[in-house]
């Protein structure tokens, strides 16, 4: 397997576990909501390739061999801002569909955070499924467990941050240090998403046609869960 330099980015839905646990009685709609959100997130990541959906997160990659440090950092910031906007626009559409269930109406607590790193990876293919492997892949996933105190942020590994120079002064950068399991002490740097893109502000109100279409999509996805739940209730 040949190693290559890659930019690694994970978009992770914050509050996902609590959301799924709280709305387990309407699991079909909760699953449909998060699926829609992740799809919009992936579609907004221009220039990045989806490697895998990992539950509540999307793991993406982009070749970094031809990018200098400033370009790698700019690629992460641009993608994060676009994905964040797409996530919240879709979240608003889910929230405003005509279904009254709490899985649909209470998505406001879902947030989107990012971790990013640049390093060496190799490709492994098993039964036509392509995966990235290597210590740098492990590192970017370990960074998901961190002490960042804000809900929506972009966390940059030290390699990516130092390689990409310093972000402009209007974007406050905060340093954190913590131990990664199996790796040891590392430094990383985070920027709040609002400091990159500005506050979201009011989301546009969806049209009645968009609300009806969103409702039909949620109902359709929820139907496949009904027989299973009835079967469980019978026991």
Beta strands per DSSP E along the chain: 4-14, 49-53, 57-63, 111-126, 129-133, 153-157, 174-180, 184-192
Cα 61 from Cα 114, distance rounded (Å): 13
Q: 151 vs 27, 111, 148, 155, 193, CA distance in Å? A: 24, 7, 8, 11, 9
* Domain residue extents for the chain: 4-227
State the Cα angle at 166 between 73 and 6, rounded to 5°: 25
Tokens of 12: 């992770």
HSE-CB at 94 with a 13 A cutoff on CA atoms is 28
Provide CATH code, domain 4-227. 3.30.70.1230
Segment 17-31 shows an average pLDDT of: 66
pTM: 0.82
Is-contact 79 67, C-beta < 8 A? no
> What is the tens place of the pLDDT at every residue in 29-45?
677 888 889 999 999 99
> What is the tens place of the pLDDT at every residue in 122-131?
999 888 888 9
Q: What is the predicted pLDDT for the residue at 103?
A: 65
Q: What is the predicted pLDDT for the residue at 145?
A: 94
């Amino acid at each position: 397997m040949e190693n290559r330099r890659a930019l690694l980015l994970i978009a992770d839905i914050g509050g996902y576990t609590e959301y799924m646990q709280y709305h387990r009685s309407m699991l079909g709609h909760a699953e449909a909501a998060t699926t829609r959100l992740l799809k919009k997130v992936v579609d907004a990541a221009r220039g990045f390739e989806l490697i895998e959906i990992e539950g509540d997160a999307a793991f993406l990659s982009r070749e970094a061999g031809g990018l200098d440090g400033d370009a790698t950092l700019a690629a992460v910031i641009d993608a994060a801002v676009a994905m964040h906007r797409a996530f919240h626009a879709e979240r608003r559409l889910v929230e405003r569909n005509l279904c009254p269930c709490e899985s649909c109406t209470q998505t406001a607590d879902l947030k989107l955070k990012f971790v990013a790193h640049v390093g060496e990876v190799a490709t492994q293919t098993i039964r036509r499924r392509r995966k990235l492997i290597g210590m740098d892949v492990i590192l970017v996933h370990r960074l998901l467990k961190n002490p960042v105190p804000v809900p929506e942020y972009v966390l940059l590994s030290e390699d990516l941050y130092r390689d990409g120079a310093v972000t402009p002064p209007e974007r406050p950068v905060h340093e954190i240090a913590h131990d990664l399991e199996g790796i040891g002490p590392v430094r990383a740097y985070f920027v709040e998403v609002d400091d990159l893109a500005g506050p979201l502000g009011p989301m546009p109100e969806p049209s009645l046609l968009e609300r009806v279409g969103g409702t039909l999509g949620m109902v359709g996805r929820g139907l496949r869960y009904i027989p299973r739940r009835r079967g469980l209730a019978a026991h």
